[in-house]
Amino acid sequence: MTETPTPSERQATAAPLGDGAAVPPAIELRGICKAFGPVQANKDISIRVMPGTIHGIIGENGAGKSTLMSILYGFYKADAGEIVIHGKATPIPDSQAAIRAGIGMVFQHFKLVQNFTVLENVILGAEDGPWLRRSLARARTELKRLAAEYEIDVDPDARIEDLSVGHQQRVEILKALYRQADILILDEPTGVLTPAEADHLFRILAHLRRQGKTVLLITHKLREIMEITDTVSVMRRGEMTATVATAETSPRQLAELMVGRKVLLHVEKAPATPGREVLSVRGLSVTDAAGVARLKGIDLNVRAGEIVGIAGVAGNGQSELLEVLGGYAAATGEVLMNGTALDLSARADGRSRRRAGIAHVPEDRHREGLILDFAAWENVAFGYQDAPEYQKNALLMDNAAIVADTRGKIERFDVRPPDPFLPARGFSGGNQQKIVLAREIERNPDLLLIGQPTRGVDIGAIEFIHKRIVELRDAGKAVLLVSVELDEILSLSDRVIVMFDGRIMGERLTAETDERELGMLMAGMTETATGAQA
């Protein structure tokens, strides 16, 4: 849908430049900083959003978008910086203050009481007095008015648990409007929606804009930014890298700004000599619990002695692919490992995958790779606790053998500090990753699945980890690498597959492609579409 935002387009160009507009911006953030421990989630963020516009904030997962919005909604307190609402400096210490300032927020995970009715959820915290009767009556008439004004139709007496996800989201929007919000923040609103529901949401947003509301749309989907926003800011690693008018930018430029272009880390490696096919995936599809298709018919193969990199903006199905191959998510389709079909039902597990020759270094090592409170030696045994060399007899495990093995791994992988008894929590990110990597690689798997191998890992360890992955390839093993870091994909893989929206957008030999081309594919544009755009 292409709304023609007559007033907003004029303001859109004014917003990023900020040259003395008569109307003060609806939202102005000045120098917002926020750190969580050593991690700088927001670095000196400044932004201006004019009233009656839809402003997009785009960036990869972990870029700091949600943190910034949580600060604006009073969930977090900024370490430094100033919030100005409609030209007035407005400190926002808590959500109550945000609501008073006319800010409403629709969180990615809805904040609704499941067994309450729509009406009860709408008035919660915004009641008209100690007795409910009057509040409920007023909310009922008010919802009728809002339904007519914004095309947001929800049965006020329905229980939340009986509503579809799309309807639940509309309740969240109604909640904000009922509280007289004139600034609405939506955090990744389409992540849980079907395409039809997403279209309806955008129609509602267009309505809101027409009524003079200001909308902040947080997303990592370029299509949405191009479709609905007037201006867009790009965030990367906690910094706001650019703010531009949507009409004056292109998906390609945004993709570049999002992914960034830093110096390529050079990895020494000889040309690959791929051998037989190790992994073959045909028509792999996954639908999540909410009924949203996450993988839509994936076909790919990985051969012995090559590294295949899966590139893509986070959230386009890469995680689901790893989960299915790792054995902890169900899927339909066919996966052959060394010619044998893998069990894709919900009964599959990591153990059967390991037996089939698949090792897995998961994307989220804190949640899936390690038990942080357990010692390094215990973590080394996880998943391989049945290995014969770890058993003393039929009943008891040989802890001494595991510790000895851990000492060996610590030495070979240069884990610091070299203490097998230290809890996993006590190691730095890079050393934690080395422990996981040592556990998986040294089992000599035919196929290594590795997700975000260097996320939260320091430069020195990155180099080491990359070298190990290449060594594994040179030993004739197959490697499937998933990373949102394009540099990493380019420097490690022999072949690159780009995923977008649960599909494979394209496949390139690393030697024959570049960042620009991959960026386009990551943005969901094929060559033909490129031609049309240019």
Partner 1 sequence: MDLSTIYEILASALRMATPLLFACLAGLYSERAGVFDIGLEGKMLMAAMTSAAVAYLTGSAWIGLGAGIVASLIFAAIHGLASITFRGNQLISGVALNFVASGATILISQAMFGQGGRTPPLNGAARFHEMTLPFADALRPVPVLGPLYADVLSGNAILVYIALLCVPLSWWVLYRTRFGLRLRAVGENPESVDTAGVSVVRLRYGALMITGILCGFAGAYMSTALQAGFGREMTAGRGYIALAALIFAKWRPWYALWATLLFGLLQALALRPDVIQGALHLAIPGPALDAMPYILTVIVLAGFVGKAIPPRAGGQPYVKER
Task: Catalog residues that contact partner 1 under the rule CB under 8 A.
Answer: 66-67, 70, 73, 75, 94-99, 105, 107, 111-116, 120-121, 123-127, 129-133, 135, 175
The CB-of-76 to partner 1 minimum distance in angstroms stands at 8
Min dist CB 96 to partner 1, Å, is: 3
Q: Shortest distance, CB of residue 104 to partner 1, whole angstroms?
A: 10
Neighbouring residues of 464: CB distance < 8 A, sequence distance ≥ 6: 413, 414, 430, 434
Residue in the block written with tokens 């109604």? 174
Considering the complex, what minimum distance in angstroms separates the CB of residue 109 from partner 1? 8
DSSP string, 212-244: T-EEEEEES-HHHHHHH-SEEEEEETTEEEEEE
Describe the crossing of helices 429-441 and 399-412 by its angle, rounded to 10 degrees: 110
Instruction: Write the DSSP symbol of residue 342.
Output: P
Query: Which lies closer to partner 1 via its Cβ, residue 96 or residue 141?
Result: 96
DSSP 368-400: II--TTSBHHHHHHTT-TT-GGGBSSSS-B-HH
Q: How far is the CB of 141 from partner 1 (least distance, A)?
A: 19
- State which residue, 117 or 431, has the beta carbon closest to partner 1: 117
The tokens for 256 are 């570049």
**Which helix H or strand E contains 83, and what residues bound it?**
strand 80-85
- Is the bond leading into 417 cis (omega within 30 degrees of zero)? yes
Q: Which residues pair with 87 in a beta bridge?
A: none
Kindly state the helix (H) or strand (E) to which residue 206 belongs, with its residue range.
helix 195-210
Minimum distance, C-beta of residue 103 to partner 1, in the bound complex (Å)? 11
Question: Is 505 in contact with 522 (CB distance < 8 Å)?
Answer: yes
Query: Among residues 98 and 313, whose Cβ is nearest to partner 1?
Result: 98
Cβ-based nearer residue to partner 1, 107 or 500: 107
Q: Which is nearer to partner 1, 126 or 290 (CB)?
A: 126
Report the chain's C-alpha Rg in angstroms: 25
Nearer of residues 171 and 482 to partner 1, judged by Cβ: 171
Closer to partner 1 by Cβ: residue 60 or 120:
120
Distances (CA, A) of 135 to 127, 142, 176, 418: 6, 10, 16, 63
